[in-house]
Structure 1
Amino acid sequence: MRQALFDFWDPLFRARGEFVVSPGNAGACARLEAWPAWSAGCLVLVGPEGSGKSRMAEDWAARTGALALDPRQPDTASARARPILLEDVDRGFCEEGLFHLINLAPVSGGLLMTARTPPASWPVRLPDLRSRLKAAEAALIEGMDDAVLTGVIEDFLRARGIRPSADLAPYLVRRIDRSVSAARDVVERLHEASGPDHRPVSRALAREILGDETENLDLFDI
Structure 2
Amino acid sequence: MRERRAGARQLALDLAGAPSYAEEDFLVGPSNEAAYAALEAWPDWSHSVLRLEGPPGSGKSHLASIWAARAGALRIAAADVVDARVPALAEAPALLIEDADRGIADEAAFFHLLNLARERGIATVITASAAPDAWGVATPDLLSRLRLAPCARLAPPDDAVFKAVLVKLFVDRQLVVDTSVVDFLALRLERSLAAAAQAVAALDADALSQKRRITRPMAADYIARTTGEGAEDG
Scaled to the shorter chain, the TM-score interval is 0.7 to 0.9
CA 15–125 in structure 1, closer or farther in 2 if over 3 Å, else same: closer
**Pairing 1:154-173 to 2, within 5 Å after superposition:** 154-173=167-186
Unaligned runs of 5+ in 2: 1-14
| 1:91 paired residue number | 102
> Is residue 2:194 matched to residue 1:194?
no
Count of aligned positions = 210
> Is residue 2:42 matched to residue 1:53?
no
Deviations 1:95-135 (A, max 9, x none): 12221221122324311010011124432232321221121
| 1:206 paired residue number | 219
**Pairing 1:57-76 to 2, within 5 Å after superposition:** 57-74=64-81, 75-76=85-86
| 1:130 paired residue number | 143
Q: Is the 8 A contact 1:69 1:85 kept in 2?
A: yes
What secondary structure does 1:85 align onto?
strand
| 2:5 paired residue number | none
The one-letter amino acid paired with 1:53 is K
Bigger mean CA deviation after superposition, 18-27 or 150-159: 150-159
- 1:200 CA drift (Å): 1.3
The one-letter amino acid paired with 1:100 is H
Unaligned runs of 5+ in 1: 1-6
- 1:142 CA drift (Å): 0.8
What secondary structure does 1:40 align onto?
coil
Deviations 1:4-34 (A, max 9, x none): xxx73338x4531231101011100011011
Higher relative contact order (CA 8 A, sep 6+): 2
TM-score computed with the length of structure 1 as normaliser: 0.84
In the alignment, the residues of structure 1 paired with residue 122 and residue 167 of structure 2 have an alpha-carbon distance, to the nearest angstrom, of 36
TM-score computed with the length of structure 2 as normaliser: 0.80
> Is residue 2:22 matched to residue 1:9?
no
In the alignment, the residues of structure 1 paired with residue 40 and residue 116 of structure 2 have an alpha-carbon distance, to the nearest angstrom, of 21
Q: How large is the Cα RMSD of the aligned pairs?
A: 2.2
| 1:4 paired residue number | none
> Is residue 2:123 matched to residue 1:110?
yes
In the alignment, the residues of structure 2 paired with residue 38 and residue 213 of structure 1 have an alpha-carbon distance, to the nearest angstrom, of 51
Q: Percent identity?
A: 37
